[in-house]
């Protein structure tokens, strides 16, 4: 069975032409004074919620990034993990003040039991937790999303690969519990600058994030799903 991530994807123009995204209710993040973001791989945090993180940083909210893996499985280069960690650190400088906790779990082999042992304590005390969607079609994203949803705080999922394999109004996507985060132009520009830092993922002859995939993260809004409707 072909993973939908590996199949031809949906063009960003289809998403931009669909009025369903613009019609989503806005997320009220003003009630949050502290937020923890969980990324399965370096770049997930920026692609999924980089704009929201910038908005929260501008308001003075405490931000913690939990980096589950160092992304070492994306390329056979033995130095790729170090490079990806450095890219993430540089990208976050465009976002704002973020404290980072690196778990160093194996890329593409993240297990629920390891996350259950580590995440609850790191998430405890934060007003909200943002994590990849647990139906995103990448096993690491899904493991992180499942365990995050079990943590004792308000949890929101953000899609990453969903924009590639899903279609507008796709019945596999929980639009009924989705919200949007409109991004002012200056924030969109900061997010784009942060995305541009992940050169290891799009400069390769066979990139992990080709232009058609990156285009999904340059629109003027981000989308999240309530993890516990």
Q: Tens of pLDDT along 25-72?
A: 999 999 999 999 999 999 999 999 999 999 999 999 999 999 999 999
Instruction: Using only the alpha carbons of the chain, give its radius of gyration.
Output: 16
Q: What is the reported pTM?
A: 0.97
φ/ψ bin of 156: left (φ > 0), alpha (ψ from -120 to 50), beta (otherwise): beta
> How many angstroms from the chain centroid is the CA of residue 138?
12
In angstroms, the CA 122 to CA 199 distance is 29
Query: Model confidence over 73-117: pLDDT tens digits?
Result: 999 999 999 999 999 999 999 999 999 999 999 999 999 999 999
Helix, strand, coil percentages for the chain (3-state, nearest 5): 40, 20, 45
Take residue 50 and report the two structure tokens written for it. 């980089």
Q: Which residues are within 8 A (CB) of 198 and not within 5 positions of it... i.e. 6 or more apart? A: 42, 43, 46, 84, 87, 88, 91, 209
């Amino acid at each position: 069975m072909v993973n939908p991530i590996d199949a031809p994807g949906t063009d960003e123009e289809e998403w931009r032409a669909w009025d369903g995204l613009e019609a989503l209710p806005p997320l009220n993040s003003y009630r949050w004074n502290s937020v923890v973001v969980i990324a399965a791989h370096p770049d997930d945090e920026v692609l999924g919620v980089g704009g929201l993180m910038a908005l929260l940083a501008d308001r003075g909210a405490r931000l913690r990034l939990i980096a589950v893996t160092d992304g070492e499985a994306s390329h056979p280069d033995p130095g790729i993990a170090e490079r990806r960690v450095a890219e993430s650190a540089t990208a976050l400088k465009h976002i704002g003040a973020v404290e980072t906790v690196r778990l160093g779990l194996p890329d593409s082999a993240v297990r629920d039991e390891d996350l259950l042992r580590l995440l609850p304590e790191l998430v405890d005390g934060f007003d909200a937790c943002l994590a990849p969607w647990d139906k995103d079609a990448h096993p690491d994203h899904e493991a992180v999303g499942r365990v995050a949803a079990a943590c004792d705080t308000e949890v929101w999922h953000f899609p990453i690969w969903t924009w590639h394999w899903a279609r507008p109004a796709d019945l596999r996507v929980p639009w009924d519990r989705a919200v949007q985060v409109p991004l002012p132009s200056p924030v969109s520009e900061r997010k784009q600058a942060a995305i541009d830092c992940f050169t290891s993922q799009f400069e390769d002859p066979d990139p992990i994030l080709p232009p058609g995939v990156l285009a999904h993260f340059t629109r003027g809004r981000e989308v999240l799903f309530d993890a516990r409707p």
